[in-house]
Amino acid sequence: MTEEQRSILSRIQKDANLSKTEILLKGLELLSEYYSLGLDTPPLSLELKRLEEDVVHHTEALKRIRRREDTLKEIIRELHDIDGIVDRYGGDPNALIQILLDIQKRFGWISKLAVMWISKRLR
């Protein structure tokens, strides 16, 4: 028995308050249930592995979609705020510097998106 196995056995004995023999018997019971359910057969094991991989893949895809949705919401909020600033100056191209200053004050910087949006709005 390796040191790691001894450590695991000791921890299980302590947590479950069982002897080595009782732990061995419980393990054999679980193994027998595992086999009786046919979980040891390669096709089922492979299918479970494939399903697990699919779940991981779809979970990652959902995370990416959520990040995109959050990013789009943030962009929409930013453009809405920029529109409010531009509208305060009546969309006057002569107020460009003041519009940029107000945007910098609001966001702490002027993004490329903001510059492109302002250029469209002031045409």
- Give the per-residue pLDDT at 2: 86
Average pLDDT in the 77-102 region? 96
Is pLDDT of 72 > 80?
yes
Longest Cα–Cα distance of the chain, Å, equals: 87
pLDDT at 11: 84
CB 121 within 8 A of CB 91: yes
Query: Which has the higher per-residue pLDDT, 110 or 10?
Result: 110
Three-state DSSP at 96 gives: helix
Query: Is the pTM higher than 0.85?
Result: no
